[in-house]
Structure 1
Amino acid sequence: MANILLRRALIDAIRVPAGTRASSELAKIGNREWVGYGYNGQPNYVDRPDFPIPAVRFRPDTPDIKVLREKEKGDWRKLTLEEKKALYRASFCQTFAEFQAPTGEWKGVLGWALTIASLSIWIYMGMKLFVYSPLPESFDEDAQKAQLKRMLDLKVNPVDGLSSKWDYENNRWK
């Protein structure tokens, strides 16, 4: 119970009171306006396609932007294209096309993955050459054939094993 109360007190201390946001004069975060809920209700800016309106404006209000904000309350046809772009850039860092464009980050990730894979192969080859002992003689093909012949001569597991599949009269596999 105490944990829930502590968590609630911390959340309430961090958040701006709801009445502040609902007042006619918008709340300020530093020197930037709080203009919406955002994606989690906190006063932060992030460009996200699933929540296109961030909680705070990207840039603080400068005297030039304040003049443009007063001008935007009137007829938008009287604004020039540069003024509209300046208003947009004051509120947003990037356009949808800019923040959804591929960054090419995958190239670096792929490069590092291939570098690490190459390094691990070189380490394995070095271990195989300098650390591991050579394979025993029983891994040679001639030794394996001799072992198979000996197992057949001794009739190892004659009921359902290897010797059951050998034809001893004709000296060949059944």
Structure 2
Amino acid sequence: MAVNMLRITSRRAISTSCQRSSGITVYADRLDYPAPPCRFVTEADLTSDMQALKTKEGGDWKELSLDEKVALYRLSFDKSYSEMRAPTGEWKYIVGGVFAACAVAIFFYGLQKKFIAPPLPETMSKEWQEAAVKYNIAIRNNPVTGIASQYDYEKNEWKK
């Protein structure tokens, strides 16, 4: 069922890729549907040279030169498949935007740390933590698996 739904929605998307609305043709080069049913250049936009080339299109293609074949291709499609797949360099803008957003976030973090955040509590100081370890050893806190199990009370030093 999901496959059928995907097939139906893809057909709808393909059919809408080349719609005419109020005289304007919406043409889009897409990798998933590289040959839309409409042409890139509409009949109304053809110049006299293009119209002459279009009449030659109905004849033998062996008589057409390579430039004429390319011009006929460009009447139907904006880009070739390899041009659509060519790298655009868009990743550079994305990476730059991510780095800019990170820089702004770090800047605001620094401002908050410096001017807004309260000072750290005294329990975060090195002296307080050392005193807490001495206290836990003195009261023999958790002697089986805790910090007191790593202290030798007979020699008054840490076990090795």
Following superposition, the deviation at residue 120 of structure 1 comes to 0.4
Compute the RMSD of aligned alpha carbons: 2.3
Question: Residue 58 of structure 1 aligns to which amino acid in structure 2?
Answer: F
Following superposition, the deviation at residue 143 of structure 1 comes to 1.7
Whether the 8 Å CA contact 1:58–1:91 is kept in 2: the answer is: yes
Higher RCO, Cα 8 Å, sep 6+:
2
2: CA distance, partners of 1:106 / 1:60: 33
Report the equivalent of 1:11.
none
Output the TM-score relative to the length of structure 1: 0.68
1:142 to 127, 133, 143: 127
Question: Residue 38 of structure 2 aligns to which amino acid in structure 1?
Answer: V
Report whether the alignment pairs 1:112 with 2:97.
yes
Percent of residue pairs identical: 41
Whether the 8 Å CA contact 2:142–2:149 is kept in 1: the answer is: yes
Whether the 8 Å CA contact 1:39–1:55 is kept in 2: the answer is: no
2: CA distance, partners of 1:38 / 1:138: 64
Moved over 6 A (4+): none
Report whether the alignment pairs 1:132 with 2:114.
no
2: CA distance, partners of 1:42 / 1:112: 32
2: CA distance, partners of 1:82 / 1:38: 35
Following superposition, the deviation at residue 135 of structure 1 comes to 1.3
The size of the alignment, in residue pairs, is: 138
Question: Residue 96 of structure 2 aligns to which amino acid in structure 1?
Answer: G
Mean alpha-carbon deviation: is it higher for 96-105 or for 109-118?
96-105
Report the equivalent of 1:33.
none
Unaligned runs of 5+ in 1: 1-36
Greater per-residue helix proportion: 2
Unaligned runs of 5+ in 2: 1-10, 19-26
Output the TM-score relative to the length of structure 2: 0.74
Report whether the alignment pairs 1:55 with 2:29.
no
Question: Residue 147 of structure 2 aligns to which amino acid in structure 1?
Answer: L
